[in-house]
A and B are shown apart, each in its own frame.
Chain A
Amino acid sequence: EDQVTQSPEALRLQEGESSSLNCSYTVSGLRGLFWYRQDPGKGPEFLFTLYSAGEEKEKERLKATLTKKESFLHITAPKPEDSATYLCAVTPNTGNQFYFGTGTSLTVIP
């Protein structure tokens, strides 16, 4: 069964304190892994797509990496405006399904 697990559930960081969020997945052939950011009261907003192990993508203070079993979202020197819930999702080779994890709620304290 295709499954996505994210950890930790919640993370509090001081401004400037770097950390990483984890997304572990089990899927019958990975077509793509996606990271989304969700602010309160809004729909998820796309951040990155990763397709194969070893791939990395960067955007401002965020960097996403992918292995055969998991993905990490590294946050370098975070700012309060990075506070949000970060969602991971996978889509398998077998179809157009899109499976989400439960998310990591990030709070960055000034």
Chain B
Amino acid sequence: EAGVAQSPRYKIIEKRQSVAFWCNPISGHATLYWYQQILGQGPKLLIQFQNNGVVDDSQLPKDRFSAERLKGVDSTLKIQPAKLEDSAVYLCASRSQGVWAEKLFFGSGTQLSVL
């Protein structure tokens, strides 16, 4: 079974530039999550999709971050304009649905450095 794919693996940009990250979840997984993980901290949820609808984006800084999930499959996360404090690893995760809680499967993440 193919895992969660993310690209790019690394990105270095200057502040005020824009950047986009891509995620392809495991086939058939209806729920997709974007997390931000700052060095030394646990993952913080940015946005959660159920199919192509947003379930929770309460912690997404909407003045600069945006995300979409086209056709309920791939997703992109964009930052425009980037700030120094956006330097972090951006993790994408997906989850199947079932009666009981199902675990998240994570991609390897995109490491963003804002200079």
Q: Contact residues of A with B, CB < 8 Å?
A: 4, 6, 31-32, 34, 41-46, 49, 51, 87, 89, 91, 95-103
Contact = CB atoms under 8 A, between A and B. Distances in A.
B32 to A, nearest CB: 11
Interface in B21-50: 31, 33, 35, 40-45, 48, 50
A97 B35 CA distance: 12
B101 A51 contact: yes
B37 to A, nearest CB: 9
B105 A46 contact: yes
Contacts of A91: 101
A23 to B, nearest CB: 11
Given A41-B108, A49-B103, 8 more contacts: A6-B42, A45-B106, A46-B104, A87-B42, A95-B55, A95-B56, A96-B48, A97-B56
Given A44-B43, A49-B103, A96 B55 contact: yes
A34 B93 CA distance: 14
Interface in B64-115: 91, 93, 95, 100-101, 103-109, 111
A10 B49 CA distance: 33
A34 B50 contact: no
Contacts of B93: 43, 98
Best-buried of A44, A45, A46, A102 by chain B (most CB within 10 Å)? A44
B107 to A, nearest CB: 5
